[in-house]
Amino acid sequence: MANSDPANRDDVAMKAAETLYPAAIPALSPDKASAPGDRVFSGGNVKAIIRRYGLLALFLGFWELSGQAHWVDQTIVPSLSTSIKAIVEMWRNIHLGLHIMISLTRVVLGLLIGLTVAVPLAFLLGRLLPKVAVRVNALLQVFGLINPYCLFPVFVVFFGLGEAPKIAVLAWVSLWPIFFNGQSAFRSVDPQLLKTARSLNCGSLTAFWRVCLPAAIPAIFNGIRVGVEMSFFILIAAEMTGATAGLGWIIHNSGASYQTDRIYGAGICVVVLGVLINRFLVVIRRGLLSWSEALAPTWLQFSDTAPKPVKKSVAYAWCLIFILIMALGLIQIFRAENLLIDSTLTPEYRIWYK
């Protein structure tokens, strides 16, 4: 039989998957991708920009005006320009970029640990042991609803002070959205795809890698994005306890000395960092998973038209850059443990020594 030829088996499986899984067909036609209306500053896009960012611009303008007009006490709510000046000052004096890399590295390490645990567990309970999943579902739902900051002292007891409890609580936060999204996706894999794989003499492991995992990756990716957002919520609180560096450490120490401009400046950095990571994940998804579904516009676009798929080479390049940043962040985390602290001689709280 032709289908039993190992050389043609993968091609046959892919054709069968494309036939049975219509979402694999790219939804964006060439005409739409090259439409002249996709120019950033065309008439329709200007209206889209106003709709998407008008309220944000009004909020930022009101924030700045309220500070400059002294409608509020600037020692409590500094103006936007004052907060930005604080960011520049922190970048020059206390190496803000290194603190940002350290916080980002902690988030990514926790996310990777959570992903490593969540995906196999989701496949086990979603596909292999559905009866067990029914019995443990209530318990897992309770675990997922526990406030992670309440568990931070418990992680400190188990892992001690240092990086381990911070990364553990971030892994706990990111684990549950990835697990629940993955479990639902594995459970709803098209049975026809599995029948096709079995007809091609695919074993269980091959069926997992070639059928189940590709079908579940879009949902898992959604869980990753949710996990990243939740990790940033808990990151600041985690870095306020027993940390030697990071954005949460800056906020905690600035609050102790009532330097509110630094508090707001570090908060702006957290928001911008979260937006950039979200954008990074969107680019990676468009490059690696453009086959999974129609590409919908995001709030980071300048138009209402469907976005163009990203080339895989571009996605891989961004991944490489991100890995390099993580490597630098790991180096700075190890250095942060040996930083020389002299808060009595300088208002900067911390000096980073070579």
Domain boundaries, the chain: 40-72, 81-336
- Which residue's entry shows tokens 């120019």? 39
Per-residue pLDDT at 179: 92
Contacts of 203 (CB under 8 A, 6+ apart): none
Average pLDDT, the chain: 75
Lowest mean pLDDT among 17-26, 99-108, 143-152, 269-278: 17-26
81-336 maps to CATH 3.30.1120.10 = no
Query: What's the predicted TM-score (pTM) here?
Result: 0.72
Q: What is the pLDDT of residues 168-198, one digit of tens each?
A: 899 999 999 999 998 888 888 888 887 887 7
Q: What is the pLDDT of residues 225-258, one digit of tens each?
A: 888 888 888 888 888 877 778 888 888 888 888 8
Per-residue pLDDT at 58: 92
User: What integer is the mean pLDDT of 28-33?
Assistant: 41
Percent of the chain with pLDDT over 70: 73
Lowest mean pLDDT among 87-91, 115-119, 142-146, 320-324: 320-324
The rounded radius of gyration (Å) of the Cα atoms in the chain is 24
3-state secondary structure the chain: CHHHCHHHHHHHHHHHHHHHCHHHCCCCCHHHHCCHHHCCCCHHHHHHHHHHHHHHHHHHHHHHHHHHCCCCCCCCCCCHHHHHHHHHHHHHHCCHHHHHHHHHHHHHHHHHHHHHHHHHHHHHHHHHCHHHHHHHHHHHHHHHHCCHHHHHHHHHHHHCCCHHHHHHHHHHHHHHHHHHHHHHHHHCCCHHHHHHHHHCCCCHHHHHHHHHHHHHHHHHHHHHHHHHHHHHHHHHHHHCCCCCCCHHHHHHHHHHCCCHHHHHHHHHHHHHHHHHHHHHHHHHHHHHCCCCCCCCCCCCCCCCCCCCCCCHHHHHHHHHHHHHHHHHHHHHHHHHCCCCCCCCCCCCCCCCCC
Choice between 309 and 81, residue whose per-residue pLDDT is larger: 81
**Is the predicted pLDDT of residue 224 greater than 80, yes or no?**
yes
Per-residue pLDDT at 157: 86
**Is the predicted pLDDT of residue 354 greater than 80, yes or no?**
no
pLDDT band at 159 (very low <50, low <70, confident <90, very high): confident
Q: Which amino acid is at 121?
A: L
Choice between 352 and 58, residue whose per-residue pLDDT is larger: 58
